[in-house]
Structure 1
Amino acid sequence: MLQTSWQTYDHYGYAMAAVLGTFAATAALQWLIQRSRWAPWARSLHGVAPPFINIIGVLFALTLAFLANDTWSAHDRALRAVYKEADSLHSLATLSQSLPTPLRAQLRAALVGYASASAAEWQLLARRAESREVVERADALLVLLASSEIATAAGANVQALMLRKVSEIRDERDQRVALSQTHVNPLKWLGMAFLGLLTLLSIAVVHVDRARAALVSIVLFALAAAPTAAIVLIQGNPFQAPTDVTPAPIEAAVADMSECSGQATAFRPAAPC
Structure 2
Amino acid sequence: MPGWLHELSVLWLAAFVFGVALVVAAAIYATVMSLSSGERGRAFTSISPGMLPPMGIVFALLVGFLAAQVWSSGDRAAAAVSEEASSLRSVVLLSSEFPGEPGAQMRSLVRGHIEDAVTKEWPQMSEQGVTLSVVPQPVADLLTMALALRPETPGQTIAQGEIVTSLEQALAARRQRIIVSQSSVNGAKWGAVVTLAVLTLFAIAFVHSGNRGGAAIAMALFAFAAAAAIVMIASQERPFAGPFAVSPTPLVQVEPALPG
Give a deviation string over 1:162-200, Cα, whole Å, max 9, x none: 222111111111222222233440011111112112211
Checking the alignment, whether the CA contact within 8 Å between 2:66 and 2:185 is kept in structure 1 is: no
CA distance, structure 2, for counterparts of residue 7 and residue 164 of structure 1: 40
- Cα RMSD (Å): 2.9
How do 1:173-212 and structure 2 match up within 5 A? 173-212=174-213
Checking the alignment, whether the CA contact within 8 Å between 1:85 and 1:172 is kept in structure 2 is: yes
Q: Displacement, 1:15?
A: 8.6
**TM-score of the pair, normalised by structure 1:** 0.81
Name the residue aligned to 1:246: 247
Distance 1:195 1:37, change over 3 A: closer
How do 1:92-171 and structure 2 match up within 5 A? 92-121=91-120, 122-130=122-130, 135-149=136-150, 154-171=155-172
CA distance, structure 2, for counterparts of residue 185 and residue 12 of structure 1: 18
Name the residue aligned to 1:264: none
CA distance, structure 2, for counterparts of residue 191 and residue 89 of structure 1: 43
Name the residue aligned to 1:268: none
Higher mean alpha-carbon deviation, 234-243 vs 60-69, is at 234-243
Q: Which runs of 5+ in 1 are unaligned?
A: 1-5, 262-273
Give a deviation string over 1:21-73, Cα, whole Å, max 9, x none: 53343122211232x24543442121444332111110011101111221122
How high is the sequence identity, in percent, across the aligned residues?
27
Give the number of the structure with larger relative contact order, counting CA–CA contacts within 8 Å between residues 6 or more apart: 2
Distance 1:7 1:190, change over 3 A: closer
Checking the alignment, whether the CA contact within 8 Å between 1:33 and 1:42 is kept in structure 2 is: no
Name the residue aligned to 1:91: 90
CA distance, structure 2, for counterparts of residue 184 and residue 151 of structure 1: 53
CA distance, structure 2, for counterparts of residue 46 and residue 150 of structure 1: 85
Higher mean alpha-carbon deviation, 163-172 vs 15-24, is at 15-24
CA distance, structure 2, for counterparts of residue 213 and residue 237 of structure 1: 38
Q: Displacement, 1:133?
A: 8.3
Q: Displacement, 1:84?
A: 0.9
Name the residue aligned to 1:64: 63
Checking the alignment, whether the CA contact within 8 Å between 1:117 and 1:134 is kept in structure 2 is: no
Higher mean alpha-carbon deviation, 152-161 vs 40-49, is at 152-161
Checking the alignment, whether the CA contact within 8 Å between 1:74 and 1:238 is kept in structure 2 is: yes
Q: Displacement, 1:11?
A: 5.6
Matched AA of 2:125: L
CA distance, structure 1, for counterparts of residue 152 and residue 190 of structure 2: 53
Runs of 4+ in 1 over 4 A off after TM superposition: 10-21, 131-134, 150-156
Corresponding position: 1:214 with 2:207? no
Name the residue aligned to 2:73: 74
Q: Report how many residues are paired.
A: 253
Name the residue aligned to 1:26: 25
Structure 2 counterpart SS, 1:149? coil
Corresponding position: 1:51 with 2:50? yes
Distance 1:11 1:256, change over 3 A: closer
Q: Which runs of 5+ in 2 are unaligned?
A: none
Matched AA of 2:126: A
Checking the alignment, whether the CA contact within 8 Å between 2:94 and 2:163 is kept in structure 1 is: yes
CA distance, structure 2, for counterparts of residue 243 and residue 60 of structure 1: 24
Matched AA of 1:126: S
Distance 1:37 1:196, change over 3 A: closer
CA distance, structure 2, for counterparts of residue 71 and residue 87 of structure 1: 24
Q: Displacement, 1:152?
A: 6.6
Checking the alignment, whether the CA contact within 8 Å between 1:32 and 1:42 is kept in structure 2 is: no
